[in-house]
Amino acid sequence: MTTGLWTTAVGSYPKPDYLLQARNKATRKEITTAELNKLERQATEMWMHFQDEIGMDLPVDGEMYRGDMAAYFGENMEGFTTSGLVRSYGNRYYRKPIAKGAVGRRGPITVEWWRYAQSLTSRPVKGMLTGPYTIADWSFDEHYPTREAFIMDLARAIHDEAVDLEKAGAKFIQIDEPAVSVRPEEMEIAVKAMAVVTKGLKAHTLTHMCYGNFDLVYPGILRLAVDQIDLEMANSNYDLLAYFKKVPFTKYIGLGVVDVHTHRLETVEEVKRGIKLTMEVIPPERIFVDPDCGLKTRQVDEAKAKLKVIAQAVREVKKEMGISDSPLPGKLPEAARR
């Protein structure tokens, strides 16, 4: 019996207008933290219910309580302060973390939000962390003698957060490392850091990468100590499949099938084509299907429409190819995680 083709999302969803307005008011001290938190929980509940409605196998909380993925962790860790607004891309800005001292956790950062999201569904919810390499790469460092020292302190902190998520019940933990795909010369540091983050975890671990120099980092990324690598594929017209034909992709893949940087809504047939092309190289029992990246740059209606197309395309491919519904997979054999 053929199984596989599970649906999921990368992490972030767009915030409803009422929440965007509330976050601005909170910055100006016009509403309390408790009032903002209530609206963040309301938006999280909306996204959790939507994912249940479309039958998503592995939902995410949508990160309604976060701004930038690196700054969020910097704001909640020791040793960091923040810069003024820094442009990241387009008209997007964030307050870049600055390491002023030794960095580390004050306590759990994401666990309570994961618990809340998990309470809203019977499906397993991914724990969502930003990886140490990316936090360091997207921060200023005014303390550490080397980048590696900075990254390894972050790796130990993110490991502790992952352990706390697992203790809380998370069976899937994602450690986002988009920066790894643009600095191939530092792959050894990234591999070393990820090994620290995931050491001893029984959860299915994964990392997400997008819009990088994959011709320079593949197959090196296969050495990251995770069970799954989630990749942008639709935006690049599935060019990575040519590399996988030369050097087999040995892990579970998160297959990006809709472009999150365009307002255009992909058709079901386009998404089905991408899934079937990938199945020529990677068996369905190792494929998770999702957007190219987080959807926070889209409007709420756009994001929902793209997710619905993914869900419909997967249903049709499974029916056409005789692929049965099946439980979510666990960990890879240890040898495949190295």
DSSP character string of 280-334: TTS-GGGEEEE-SS--TTS-HHHHHHHHHHHHHHHHHHHHHHTEEP-PPP-PPPG
* d(C-alpha 17, C-alpha 270), whole Å: 30
Domain residue ranges in the chain? 2-70+111-337
265: left (phi over 0), alpha (psi -120 to 50) or beta: beta
Concatenated DSSP letters for 120-174?
Answer: T-SS---EEEE-HHHHHHTSEESS-SSHHHHHHHHHHHHHHHHHHHHHHT-SEEE
pLDDT value at position 211?
A: 78
Quick one: tokens of 30?
A: 């016009």
Q: Give the architecture-level CATH label for domain 2-70+111-337.
A: Alpha-Beta Barrel (3.20)
pLDDT value at position 116?
A: 98
* d(C-alpha 279, C-alpha 245), whole Å: 12
pTM of the model: 0.95
DSSP letter (8 states) at residue 14 = P
Average pLDDT score over the chain: 94
Compute the residue count for the chain: 338
pLDDT value at position 180?
A: 93
pLDDT value at position 183?
A: 82
Interval 196-220: pLDDT, tens? 999 999 999 999 998 778 888 999 9
pLDDT value at position 182?
A: 84
Interval 237-282: pLDDT, tens? 999 999 999 999 999 999 999 999 999 999 999 999 999 999 999 9
Ranges of residues in the chain whose predicted pLDDT is under 50: none
